[in-house]
Amino acid sequence: MQIFLDTAVLDEIRQAAEWGVLDGVTTNPTLAARAGRAFKENILAISEIIGDRGTVSAETVSTDVEGMIEEARLVTSWAPNIVAKIPCTPNGLAATRKLAEEGIRVNMTLVFNATQGLLAMKAGAYYVSPFIGRLDDAGQNGMELIEQLVHIKHTYGFETQVLAASIRHPMHVVQAAMLGADIATMPFKVLQQIMKHPLTDIGLQRFLEDWASIPEEMRPF
């Protein structure tokens, strides 16, 4: 499973890239607003960090088909690793089909049920983004949607990648991986959480103390 960061903060992206665990980045207008920088400049800076290790999703904000297509063409023209993120509305589906025919990769976002996901795959979306945390927040089971979409994808042989989005905690990442999601995109805080375990720290501390108890002339370093 690929690991994406769901952020527009460059320091977080740089740090994750240095750890060698980052396969891509997703952004959205809320995250872009928080970044406090010009949109294009920020997306290009993210795109440069990601390079050929993966993709960067940049979201369109028009709600009509032509506007979505125009914005998608624009953002994807900035760099080869940029994917246009388009909401799963009837217009979004129409735009995605057209863009897919042009070879432009679309991340179909704001997907909340299996029929939306199926239609996104049929339209030729490169990624389909079910929002599991927001479904959980609404009293539904977000993971069920991941399971359904992975099943639909494999049943019909769609190439669309299932991108588990709106991840809130490490168990979401584990469950998405167990269910066969292609990608999980997560906030930086969750990425930090999944890399750590208190027993690793305690174990390391003990190993270092025991190592230090070996006389120096008996150790190679």
Q: Is 196 among the residues known to form the active site?
A: no
As measured in angstroms, the least distance from the Cβ of 163 to ligand E4P is: 7
As measured in angstroms, the least distance from the Cβ of 166 to ligand E4P is: 3
Report residue 180 as tokens: 């066969």
As measured in angstroms, the least distance from the Cβ of 208 to ligand E4P is: 37
State the burial class of residue 133 (Cβ atoms within 10 Å of its Cβ: 0-12, 13-18, 19+): middle
- Between 31 and 94, name the residue whose CB sits nearer to ligand E4P: 31
| Number of residues near ligand E4P (by CB under 6 A) | 11
One-letter identity of residue 191: L
Q: Does 126 bind ligand E4P (CB under 6 A)?
A: no
Footprint (CB under 6 A) of ligand E4P, residues 151-210: 165-166, 185
What is the C-alpha separation between 2 and 164, in angstroms, rounded?
Answer: 10
Residue from 54, 133, 170, 180 touching ligand E4P (CB under 6 A): that is 133
171, 176, 180, 185 alpha-carbon torsion, rounded to 10°: -130
What is the C-alpha separation between 201 and 14, in angstroms, rounded?
Answer: 24
- Sign of dihedral through CA atoms 28, 31, 35, 37? positive
As measured in angstroms, the least distance from the Cβ of 30 to ligand E4P is: 6
Residues serving a catalytic function are 85
Give me the residues that bind ligand E4P (CB under 6 A), please: 6, 26, 28, 109, 129, 131, 133-134, 165-166, 185
